[in-house]
Amino acid sequence: MKNYFLYCLLLCVAISTSANARESIDLNSFKYPYLVEHARGNQVMVLNSGIASFQKRLDLIRQAKKSIEIEYFIYSIDTAGRLFTQELIKAAKRGVKVRIIVDKSLPIFELNKYYAKALKANNVEVKYYNDASIIRFSTFQFRSHRKLFVIDDKIAITGGRNLADEYYDLSGKFNFLDRDILVEGPIVKTMRETFEKFWTNKITVTPKFPKKPVRPEAFSPLEAILSDDHREEVEEYEYDAKIYKKKMDKATEYVTVQAGDTQYLRKLEDIARPILDNKKMHLCPDMTYASDLPGANGLRRLNADFKDKYRLLNKVIHNKIIEAKEKILISSPYFVHNLKAHSLYKHLLQENIEVTIYTNSLASTDAVYVAANFYRDIETWQSQGMIPYIHAGEWIPETPVISEEVKKAKWGTHSKTHVYDDDTIMIGTYNVDQRSNFYNVEMALFCRGNLELAAEVQESVESRMNTGYKIIENRQAIDSKGKKVSIHGDAGFKSKLMMTILAVPSWIFSYLL
């Protein structure tokens, strides 16, 4: 009941602000480096293929001469994470300064203090963003969802991809169709300076490295037999030493080159190199970089000006949306709105702005509770003129993958991409949901004025979109050939049952989705 009243309160806040949903938001309160508009002299490359995007990261690490800065929401202990990390260590050993920030969201956190200790031994520094325990429920919600990769203040990559197999087309179980943007030019220094702001903020902490258990003072075997105190002391030491060794051995193995790595990397490069060789660098005539600010927590959220101090990106996106004159194309893995956003999109549709979205179906999502909200609202959106497409849950043969097993895996869309009026793009970390609007720290790059670049991005989104399902009236969907299909994609009975069970809780807690 308490949560229900909290949700009602949030709805009231949304209603009270919805009258301004169609007006431009003043961004003057946000200072450099979190917002830079109308930047010139930057070039960009769009990275659609997961394998090619991974290879590009490895290439850049090998080219680094001075510094590498990295931020991820997810940093997994898997093949992609291991190969990436080993390249970082090689760079550190040749004198490159390597720093990593990983969000410490406990449900998905893997790069623990043992791995951080192994990395520190190899001259790679690690810090954690927001290590609040889960019992601090409010503060725990404020996560860093930023994805940033910077080389020598010259080249950077941001976008939807975290560091895990599923973001680089390498998992035999589940993979994400995603998109990154590589940028080279003056804006990169600004992006690195936001990293510095996060690195030095007090919410970002240095891990407390585990200490090797100390052997008890020597005593005779007879004393060990006769003394319960000694026996317990020895057993406790042996247990702690065993656990410590097991975890450190695992961390050491993670940072050590394994048999077969060279062959695996060669196989990846054979796929990626032709893709990268055909990628074009585009000049961006007018670039905007925006990032939310670090440091939000449960106490600060009580301040009336909380969003005006910490949440910037959704305001920039708001202004870009209301500037659209003809059409907007949005690709997002999630599509959950508050009332203010609902009012904004309703206004656009009433003004005959074409709004097309591409998101996950129940068959392709990694979050059934989000799908429950999407399916509840989609008929309303569609009836008001929005054009919704959903991913079917299958591999799309747009680029090669490493094995047949990967092709047969479940696939979902994960790209966070907007196209406005055929001339402006956004690629970043921002999902269309409440978490990205309020709780998560996000970042994105916008480019306006290069029609060829915008066309390339739009073509990529539409190519994926058109292989999925289009939602039409009466909660029906059709495939690319016009054949009627399930609005849930190929979701099985268990997924449908789970979504039904979660329908009411998902509505109540939609402010957290």
pLDDT bucket at 383, cuts 50 / 70 / 90:
confident
Q: What is the pLDDT of residue 21?
A: 64
pLDDT bucket at 419, cuts 50 / 70 / 90:
very high
pLDDT bucket at 313, cuts 50 / 70 / 90:
very high
Cβ contacts of 3 within 8 Å, gap of 6 or more: 508, 509
Alpha helices by DSSP H, 107-227: 113-120, 137-140, 187-200, 221-226
Distance between CA atoms of 247 and 261, rounded to whole angstroms? 22
Domain architecture of the chain: domains with CATH: 2-21+31-208+257-512 (3.30.870.10)
Q: Contact 110/77 with Cβ under 8 angstroms?
A: yes
pLDDT bucket at 248, cuts 50 / 70 / 90:
very high
pLDDT bucket at 14, cuts 50 / 70 / 90:
very low
Q: Tokens 């203040």 identify what position?
A: 153
Distance between CA atoms of 241 and 52, rounded to whole angstroms? 42
- Per-residue pLDDT tens for 470-480? 999 888 999 98
Distance between CA atoms of 324 and 318, rounded to whole angstroms? 10
Average per-residue pLDDT for the chain: 90
Q: What is the pLDDT of residue 298?
A: 84
* Strands, E assignment, 185-331: 204-205, 282-284, 286-291, 327-331
pLDDT bucket at 223, cuts 50 / 70 / 90:
low
pLDDT bucket at 246, cuts 50 / 70 / 90:
very high
* Comparison of pLDDT for 413 and 505, the residue scoring more: 413
Q: What is the pLDDT of residue 220?
A: 56
Least confident of 108-112, 280-284, 303-307, 313-317: 303-307
**pLDDT tops 70 at residue 15:** no
**pLDDT tops 50 at residue 362:** yes
Quickly count: other Cβ atoms within 10 Å of residue 178's Cβ. 27
Q: Contact 72/162 with Cβ under 8 angstroms?
A: yes
**pLDDT tops 60 at residue 282:** yes
- What's the token pair of residue 17? 């602000």
Distance between CA atoms of 167 and 175, rounded to whole angstroms? 6
pLDDT bucket at 307, cuts 50 / 70 / 90:
confident
pLDDT bucket at 400, cuts 50 / 70 / 90:
very high
> Chain centroid to CA 264: how far?
26
Count of positions (residues) in the chain: 513
Cβ contacts of 497 within 8 Å, gap of 6 or more: none
Q: Contact 122/97 with Cβ under 8 angstroms?
A: no
Distance between CA atoms of 68 and 351, rounded to whole angstroms? 46
Distance between CA atoms of 171 and 77, rounded to whole angstroms? 13
- Per-residue pLDDT tens for 138-168? 888 999 999 999 999 999 999 999 999 999 9
Q: What is the pLDDT of residue 228?
A: 62
Q: Contact 431/160 with Cβ under 8 angstroms?
A: no
* φ and ψ at residue 489, rounded to 5 degrees: 70, -145
Percent of the chain with pLDDT strictly greater than 90: 69
HSE-CB at 123 with a 13 A cutoff on CA atoms is 14
Q: What is the pLDDT of residue 12?
A: 38
- Per-residue pLDDT tens for 23-74? 888 898 889 999 999 999 999 999 999 999 999 999 999 999 999 999 999 9
Between the alpha carbon of residue 311 and those of residues 18, 24, 111, the distances in Å are: 17, 16, 27
Q: What is the pLDDT of residue 11?
A: 36
Between the alpha carbon of residue 1 and those of residues 255, 310, 318, 504, 505, the distances in Å are: 48, 29, 33, 13, 12
- Averaged pLDDT for residues 483-510: 84
- What's the token pair of residue 497? 């049952």
- Per-residue pLDDT tens for 96-112? 999 999 999 988 999 99
- Averaged pLDDT for residues 247-262: 94
Q: What is the pLDDT of residue 92?
A: 98
**pLDDT tops 60 at residue 7:** no
Q: Contact 51/83 with Cβ under 8 angstroms?
A: no
- Averaged pLDDT for residues 308-333: 94
pLDDT bucket at 16, cuts 50 / 70 / 90:
very low
pLDDT bucket at 369, cuts 50 / 70 / 90:
confident
Q: Which candidate, 346, 356, 273, places its Cα nearest to that of 51?
A: 273
**pLDDT tops 60 at residue 18:** no
Phi/psi-derived region of residue 398, left when phi > 0, alpha when psi is between -120 and 50, beta in every other case: alpha
Q: Contact 131/426 with Cβ under 8 angstroms?
A: no
